[in-house]
Structure 1
């Protein structure tokens, strides 16, 4: 067990906890991409989760772990988080399925349709301030004054272990996998998958893909400690945001399990989104397309290899897809 608190044992515990609430997603072969790159290109369809993204795994694992350890009464005041997208939806869904009250704090900038989607999953929403930071101040108030329990988006071993169950599934479905390519932001997804893969098949390469601008994990790994960066608008918006200046788990874990790290441009993300829709008839968000972006933009030589790409979520609007198509020139 390392100081990040994630081990093969905690991954298997997570799998047991989430089994009846989370989908064991398909790993499918892409005929078009396999032919194009002269490789076996496999797609892990986290888009099939009830909330449309992998985040549900971590949220369910954390809530069930809390109930197991402290009893349901400890969560009577409810759970709370701040998120504009996949994490907020995941917490709302997980809490509802377990009969626990949930509050999702959002800034006034979050579009009404996203707010409505979270409320439809049974959570209360609070519109606070004009930024994610101001929304998070409300989270901290609810924790300290009302005894609510914070469900962090990535920097917690229970969240990471939940996401890491994807890695266990990959190893079962393709034991001789050569490389897995994972979008990298806060590090919960890559850290979890990497922990599973490296424990079971150390020879498998774990490749992280970050945005070309505003990538906090990239800067933090370079600096050797957590660094704050300015967020920029991106088609891969789920890969924006910081890693937390008091990061306790994911920075150390990512450093341990990741073999190589690439950055991708907006045009590469746009092209990959359109390619996946065209070739696979799958609508994916920008953050879910970056594995393909990395192969295309960096000319990765994957010939003869078995490569898994994590299609992490489908939270994309038609307007964003139109933007991607325009940028890709398609």
Structure 2
């Protein structure tokens, strides 16, 4: 199972009018510091505060009426659940979101506010996925996974149609839906562009799986980049092979480096979550050295305001 540029172009037509084409903003401080233009793809300005709305919307709009009538269900670390709840409400489709106890309360409440049923179970996304399996088996609901799904990946890949042909694209890496989708689009349009996946040092399932050459389980741990947590699924069929074949590099970041990325972006007026800061963090830490125009994907804004204020104060 794979995703093509044609799939992504079809997704772009399908979701047009349902999502925002977010702006590309130059980061003047990073550009001056690094001697190369650095651009921020402000996907955190999406309607639900994260890129996930693209994939969730494309997936729902791809379903037949009978499946929609039975309702949709997913597991999420927060942002996909919020996106699915939003898309489902817009189309009057019942939605259930299964979350682990690690998901921050602000993200849980945002999902509830959109009218979705919330089930909190277990201490990992893998355990939340077990609850999804029960909902599918016992209630006949239609699963829309957070990443390992062709329509979801194609929807996320529409971002890759909006960023031009830079020398490098820095993409947050979790289950791989965002990284795989962008990589498919970018590599088809600009084969020489480097697509670099970025994640946290601890609990990064896709990074561990790519290193092992197969999907593996990892212990899920708390991180400032909480939405990059969770497993990729041992039966992963879509995102693991795409990330394996298309990503040029995967880079791990410490919690201190992620916090520095949050602070840098906050000073520039971009209030984003830890997962969205990893591109800036990698450049600031010297773990990525740009060789030409570089695009950072600012994936989401759903950070707890008190946590963001605390991180910003640490720079004082």
TM-score normalised to structure 2 length: 0.95
Q: Compute the displacement of 1:9 (Å).
A: 0.6
Query: What whole-Å deviation, never above 9, does each CA across 1:80-107 have from its counterpart, x for those lacking one?
Result: 1122410110110011111111111234
Q: 2:62 aligns with which of 65, 69, 91?
A: 65
For 1:319, the equivalent position in structure 2 comes to: 306
Q: 1:310 aligns with which of 281, 289, 297?
A: 297
Structure 2: 5+ residue runs without aligned partners? Answer: none
Q: 2:200 aligns with which of 211, 214, 218?
A: 211
Q: Compute the displacement of 1:296 (Å).
A: 1.7
C-alpha contact 2:98 2:121 (8 A) present in aligned 1: yes
Structure 1: 5+ residue runs without aligned partners? Answer: none
C-alpha contact 2:197 2:249 (8 A) present in aligned 1: yes
Report the CA distance shift for 1:78/1:234 in structure 2 as closer, same or farther (over 3 A): same
Q: 1:276 aligns with which of 265, 286, 299?
A: 265
Distance 2:140 2:102 in 1: 27
Distance 1:59 1:127 in 2: 20
Q: Compute the displacement of 1:233 (Å).
A: 1.1
Is 1:234 aligned to 2:227, yes or no? Answer: no
For 1:182, the equivalent position in structure 2 comes to: 171
Is 1:155 aligned to 2:148, yes or no? Answer: yes
Distance 2:261 2:108 in 1: 28
C-alpha contact 2:280 2:296 (8 A) present in aligned 1: yes
Two-structure CA RMSD over aligned residues (Å): 1.7
Report the CA distance shift for 1:118/1:272 in structure 2 as closer, same or farther (over 3 A): same
For 1:295, the equivalent position in structure 2 comes to: 283
Q: 1:101 aligns with which of 82, 94, 107?
A: 94
Report the CA distance shift for 1:198/1:130 in structure 2 as closer, same or farther (over 3 A): closer
C-alpha contact 1:237 1:286 (8 A) present in aligned 2: yes
SS at match of 2:135: helix
Distance 2:198 2:98 in 1: 28
SS at match of 1:284: coil
Report the CA distance shift for 1:75/1:299 in structure 2 as closer, same or farther (over 3 A): closer
TM-score normalised to structure 1 length: 0.91
Distance 1:59 1:106 in 2: 16
Aligned residues: 316
